[in-house]
Chains A and B, each alone.
Chain A
Amino acid sequence: MSKIFVAGIGAVSPSGWNVAALRAALGKGEPLPTQPMVRPGWEKPLQTRQVPSPPVRPEFLAHPRLRRTSPITHYAAAAALEAVANLRANPAAKNLRLGIVVCLQSGCVQYSCRFYDETLKNPATASPLVFPETVYAAPTSHVAALLENVVLAYSLVGDPSSFLQGVALAAEWLAENRVDACLVIGAEETNWIIADALWHLDRRAIVAAGAGALCLCRDSKLSAGVELAAITDAHTFSARLDRTQAAQAMRAQLGKSSPGELLCDGIGDSPRTDDAERAAWSDWPGQRVSPKKILGEGLMAAAAWQCVAACDAVAEKNVASAYVSLVGSNQQAIGARFVRADFDLSTATSEGNIRP
Chain B
Amino acid sequence: MLFPPTPLPATPPRVVVTGAGIVTALGLGWKLNAEGFRAGRRAFRPVTQFDVSRQRVKVAAEVDLPKDFPATKLNRRQLERLDRAGKMLVLAAQEAWRQAGWESAENLPLVLGTTAGGMLLGEAYYRQALHQPAHQRQQATRAVHYQPQVQARMVLDALGFSGPITIISNACASGCNAVGHAFDLIRSGQAERVVAGGYDALGEMVFSGFDSLQALSPTVCRPFDAKRDGLALGEGAAVVNLETLDSARRRGAEILGEIIGYGTSIDGHHLTQPHPQGNTTLTVMKQACANAGVTAEEIDYINAHGTGTPLNDSSEAHAISEWAGSRAATLPVSSTKASIGHLLGGAGAVEAVVCLMTLREQWLPPEIEFETPDPACKFPIVKNSQDTRVNVVLSNSFGFGGVNAALILRRWA
Does the CB pair B164–A65 fall under 8 Å?
A: no
A154 on interface, CB distance cutoff 8 Å? yes
Nearest-neighbor residue (CB-CB) of B209 within chain A: A131
Q: Roughly how many angstroms separate A313 CA and B234 CA in the complex, as a whole number? A: 49
Nearest-neighbor residue (CB-CB) of A175 within chain B: B5
B205 on interface, CB distance cutoff 8 Å? yes
Does the CB pair A234–B56 fall under 8 Å?
A: no
Does the CB pair B2–A119 fall under 8 Å?
A: no
B170 on interface, CB distance cutoff 8 Å? yes
Which of B138-146, B241-249, B357-365 contacts the other chain?
B138-146
Does the CB pair B144–A144 fall under 8 Å?
A: no
Does the CB pair B1–A253 fall under 8 Å?
A: yes
- Which of A105, A148, A193, A198 interacts with B126 by CB under 8 Å? A193
Chain B contacts for A138, CB-based, 8 A: 271, 400-401
Nearest-neighbor residue (CB-CB) of A170 within chain B: B3
Which of chain B's residues 266-311 have a Cβ closer than 8 Å to chain A?
Answer: 266, 268, 271-272
Residues 281-313 of chain A: 1 if any B CB is under 8 Å from the residue's CB, otherwise 0?
Answer: 000000000000000000000000000000000
Given contacts A153-B403, A234-B165, A253-B1, contact A330 B271 (CB under 8 A): no
Residues 1-28 of chain B: 1 if any A CB is under 8 Å from the residue's CB, otherwise 0?
Answer: 1111101100000000000000000000
B105 to chain A, nearest CB (A): 12
Which of B38-46, B62-70, B150-158, B374-382 contacts the other chain?
B150-158
A124 on interface, CB distance cutoff 8 Å? yes
Which of chain A's residues 57-77 have a Cβ closer than 8 Å to chain B?
Answer: 65
Which of chain A's residues 139-195 have a Cβ closer than 8 Å to chain B?
Answer: 140-142, 144-145, 148, 150-159, 162, 164-165, 167-168, 171-172, 175-176, 193
A213 on interface, CB distance cutoff 8 Å? no
Most chain A CB neighbours (cut-off 10 Å) among B4, B210, B213? B4
- Which of B4, B54, B125, B149 interacts with A330 by CB under 8 Å? B149
Does the CB pair B169–A136 fall under 8 Å?
A: yes
Name the interface size band of chain B. 35 or more
Q: Roughly how many angstroms separate A128 CA and B271 CA in the complex, as a whole number? A: 12
A148 to chain B, nearest CB (A): 7
Q: Roughly how many angstroms separate A128 CA and B209 CA in the complex, as a whole number? A: 7
Given contacts A1-B5, A231-B3, contact A237 B153 (CB under 8 A): yes
Which of B87-95, B128-136, B250-258 contacts the other chain?
B128-136
B371 on interface, CB distance cutoff 8 Å? no
Nearest-neighbor residue (CB-CB) of B123 within chain A: A116
Chain A contacts for B115, CB-based, 8 A: 135-136
Chain B contacts for A151, CB-based, 8 A: 265-266
Residues 169-212 of chain B: 1 if any A CB is under 8 Å from the residue's CB, otherwise 0?
Answer: 11100000100010010001010000000000000110011111
Does the CB pair A155–B3 fall under 8 Å?
A: no
Q: Roughly how many angstroms separate A318 CA and B204 CA in the complex, as a whole number? A: 52
Which of chain A's residues 5-50 have a Cβ closer than 8 Å to chain B?
Answer: 39-42
- Which of B2, B153, B211 interacts with A165 by CB under 8 Å? B2
Nearest-neighbor residue (CB-CB) of B204 within chain A: A119
B399 on interface, CB distance cutoff 8 Å? yes
Does the CB pair A238–B209 fall under 8 Å?
A: no
Q: Roughly how many angstroms separate A112 CA and B173 CA in the complex, as a whole number? A: 20
Does the CB pair A193–B170 fall under 8 Å?
A: no
Does the CB pair B7–A1 fall under 8 Å?
A: yes
Does the CB pair A123–B129 fall under 8 Å?
A: no
Does the CB pair A231–B204 fall under 8 Å?
A: no
Q: List 5 A-B contacts (CB under 8 A).
A: A40-B129, A41-B129, A135-B169, A137-B400, A140-B266
Give B residues with C-beta under 8 Å from A.
1-5, 7-8, 54-56, 107, 114-115, 117, 122-123, 125-127, 129-130, 133-134, 136, 139-140, 143-144, 147-150, 153, 156-157, 162-171, 177, 181, 184, 188, 190, 204-205, 208-214, 264-266, 268, 271-272, 399-403
List 10 additional contacts besides A157-B148, A165-B166; criterion CB under 8 Å.
Answer: A39-B133, A116-B204, A124-B56, A132-B400, A152-B264, A158-B166, A201-B143, A236-B163, A237-B153, A334-B2
